[in-house]
Structure 1
């Protein structure tokens, strides 16, 4: 398997035909998968915003004041309001905001970015990354994964993860298959969209690299059952349930 960045993409702006811009710069082959950063998807879909778009509610004021007290740094309540409006739930509000987005992804600050947004204060995640991936996949004729970087519990650092995908299953199911000793596998479900997103992030890089689209060539899904389950349901997410009952400082 090999991965390579799509070169020379321009600064993406609202209304740009992202699929056409990528297609002009990449020669796809059968079996290719495109991983594209949510930042450029959001920009093309007009998801850049300003703090002035989010007048702070009483709840946002309280969240910002608590965070400022804990960190010793001034916090803009309008940012907290943006997080509230982009979330279906705040799992915790201190010492940082951990939010569940409206499409099911759990991440800090609802994934709102404050870097690489020329002319604006904020960049929101795509409203529906799955639908975004579907549109790109249909236009390009290959599977597409919309990616972001995200921190992980119990580990330092961020890694690439999938937010939306189309043209391929999210995971491959090894349950019922056997290991080298003949033991049947009972729990192994491999999140291939996350693993491809992580691999693509190594090529795309961070900061001012300007290479947000990566082609994966030679990946083979294999003869496995596939599944589109990626985000845990509320009922199955024991960590989310535990965090709801926890309060920072107690």
Structure 2
């Protein structure tokens, strides 16, 4: 399998044709195209200024407990969230499309059109739209909208999928057998996350300026498929535990 960064994509601004910008530079004879959520957000004008947010009492209360937190920024996080899972010592939020991340994924870097850059509103729909547009240029692969995210229990960040189209989210090995003949009962591989993390190695961070990567030679294989990537509340036991976590009692 080969992963190639797409060079030459210009700075994306609101209203730009992102598919055209990628299509001019990418090798469209690829099995998967990974696109950073930042350029999707920029193309759709997801900039905001902190001056536009009037902090609520809850935002001020949370900001008071977090070092150097701006209550206007906290209010933006609240408004971009379906649920706040943890308020202190950082804000962990559930986005409307199911992703759980720090500060609802709001970015304060690489946002030339405002103070902050919000996540795309519907990453799956954007992935499908990009795929449809590039299909006219001969692209037949899948599209993943990626972001970087921290990891529980581990230092550092890695790429994750926010939305995808044209490929399943997961390989479901349940019902298959291992080399000793034992039936697998729980193994479900988050393929779109693994591809996103691999693509992030060549897309880079900070000022790398490579917001897309193509993946060549990927095969899903003869496995059952699943599009269930984000856990719901009923099966997310960590999220349930955080809902009852008392930060003050742990200090």
Query: Does the alignment reach a TM-score above 0.5?
Result: yes
| Pairwise CA distance, 1:151 | 0.5
Aligned equivalent of 1:114: 108
1:38-64, Cα deviation, whole Å (9 max, x unpaired): 000000010011101211111111111
1:17 aligns to 2:17 (yes or no) = yes
Matches within 5 A, 1:138-149: 138-141=132-135, 142-149=141-148
Aligned equivalent of 2:138: none
SS at 1:149's partner residue?
strand
SS at 1:147's partner residue?
strand
Task: Give ranges in structure 1 of 5+ residues lacking alignment.
Answer: none
CA distance in 2, matches of 1:92, 1:25: 41
Aligned equivalent of 2:60: 61
Stretches of 4+ aligned residues off by more than 4 angstroms? none
Task: Give ranges in structure 2 of 5+ residues lacking alignment.
Answer: 136-140
Matches within 5 A, 1:127-142: 127-141=121-135, 142=141
1:90 alignment partner, one of 62, 80, 84:
84
**Which TM-score applies when normalising by structure 1?**
0.96
| Pairwise CA distance, 1:102 | 0.8
**Which TM-score applies when normalising by structure 2?**
0.95
SS at 1:24's partner residue?
helix
Kept in 2, the 8 Å contact 1:8–1:25? The answer is yes
Number of aligned residue pairs: give it: 244
1:97-121, Cα deviation, whole Å (9 max, x unpaired): 0000111000000000000111410
Aligned equivalent of 2:119: 125
**Over the residues paired in the alignment, what is the CA RMSD in angstroms?**
0.9
Aligned equivalent of 1:42: 41
